[in-house]
Amino acid sequence: MTQDKVDQLARDILVRNDRGGYTVPNGRVYPFQWNWDSAFVSLGLAVFDLDRAWREIESLFQGQWEDGFLPHIIFWKEDDARYFPGPGVWGTGRTPPTSGITQPPVAASAVRALWERGEQLRFRPHLERLFPKLLAWHRWFARVRDPLQMGLAVIVHPWESGRDNSPEWDAPAQPIDISRVGPYERRDTSHLDPSMRPTQLDYDRYVALLQFGRALGWDHERIGRESQFRVVDVGTTMILLRANRDLLALAEALGWKEQAQELRRSIARAEEGISSLWDERVGAYCSRDVTSGRSSGMVTSASFLSFYAGVRNDVRDRRLLEHLERIAQRANYLIPSLDPDDPGFDSIRYWRGPVWAVINYLIGSGLIGSGHVQWGERVRADTRKLIEQAGMYEYYCPLTGRGFGGHDFSWTAAMWLQWARDSEPKEMPA
């Protein structure tokens, strides 16, 4: 397929998945608005409709809670037949209905990218309305999910990481009591091959944590203190640091000095605290169980987000690049979500091995921005090949290049338009 045809296919997918102000990830499997999906989708929409791209972010923040919390799903309409757990299961009592957990805060970085595409005079009112909401969400992370005030991000549900069934969560999830979960019917395995999806044990734990949050009335401060699952997620932490940098750039563009100074303090705190996630034994940044204090000891795609976050350490960077070189010898396509040498590696089961275009975008642009252009372009080229050969799938096998999960996937289409299709070096703003 020619590049022009792939371009058109990507645009058609985004238009087809548009529900009038928000975009669903995939019409068949994910029929609602997802938090970080919309942030990535806005980047693809901006290539051909900048107004619509801004509306995508604005519609997402219509689901924000009064305390700054931004949920991971907004249920704009009922559709329990295709998705579990729906709004009735979450029971948050919000209008519009939402879930009770969050997702990695990509939105500020997306808004900066939209702002810097141009027409700033016209879009300044949009930015002025969104900025306080973005800052409120970042403040929520600092207040509720950073108990040690080290600039780190604690997750209380594997879904909050966006990397639902990563092996990083296996050990921290073991204490979760699933004895009172009760019967429920999954919808994902009726649409997709169960071998691609999280296991039943994974889902029982997901539901148990959901029920725990609902029992506490979605009091996030209590959940953060009392949950059986509390993990400092290296991915969310790195994404939040980058998002704070991007929000700082927007504060400076607006001339909002007080907010800019607050963000500088948050960035400095994270730059110091992130060192606690470095696992010298494995030579990578790893997630850490809050309860046990143990590192996951796993090299995942999230480990390489340090380049995207702007975390710089020559010795550690060299060790990460050595991992990347080793992984490139084991996988035909970068970057698998789990080290192929890890015993838990599974090339087609969701976040236990497959390649995801959105994570490749973050890592690849981060590598280019930190001066590792050759590796960044390798990640981009692999992403381009996967999409050209297999189509716009949710994720891909790093060994065969086959596409898996949902097809005609919005964020993959967006990543094609925003990044993967280009053959010349291109990075996110510094």
Active site residues per annotation: 164, 394
Question: Residue length, the chain?
Answer: 430
Phi, psi of 364 (to 5 degrees): -60, -45
Instruction: Determine the 3-state secondary structure of 278 from DSSP.
Output: strand
Enter the tokens of residue 91.
């029971």
CA distance 243 to 248: 8
* Strand pairing report for 231-232 and 288-289: antiparallel
Enter the tokens of residue 228.
């059986």
Strand partners of residue 18? 23
For residues 346, 349, 352 and 356, what is the CA-based torsion angle, rounded to 10 degrees? 120
CA distance 282 to 308: 20
Chain-centre distance of CA 294, in angstroms? Answer: 23
Report the 3 state secondary structure along 342-357: CCCCCCCCCCCCCECH
Strand partners of residue 430? none
Contact by Cβ (8 Å): 43, 110: yes
CA distance 23 to 41: 8
Instruction: Determine the 3-state secondary structure of 404 from DSSP.
Output: strand
Contact by Cβ (8 Å): 168, 296: yes
Amino acid letter at 24? V
Cβ–Cβ contacts within 10 Å for residue 21, how many?
14
Kindly calculate the radius of gyration of the chain based on its CA atoms and give it in whole angstroms: 20
Q: Is residue 387 reached through a cis peptide bond, with omega within 30 degrees of 0 on the bond before it?
A: no
Instruction: Determine the 3-state secondary structure of 221 from DSSP.
Output: helix
Match 């529900």 to its residue by tokens.
19
**Element spanning 34, H or E:** strand 33-34
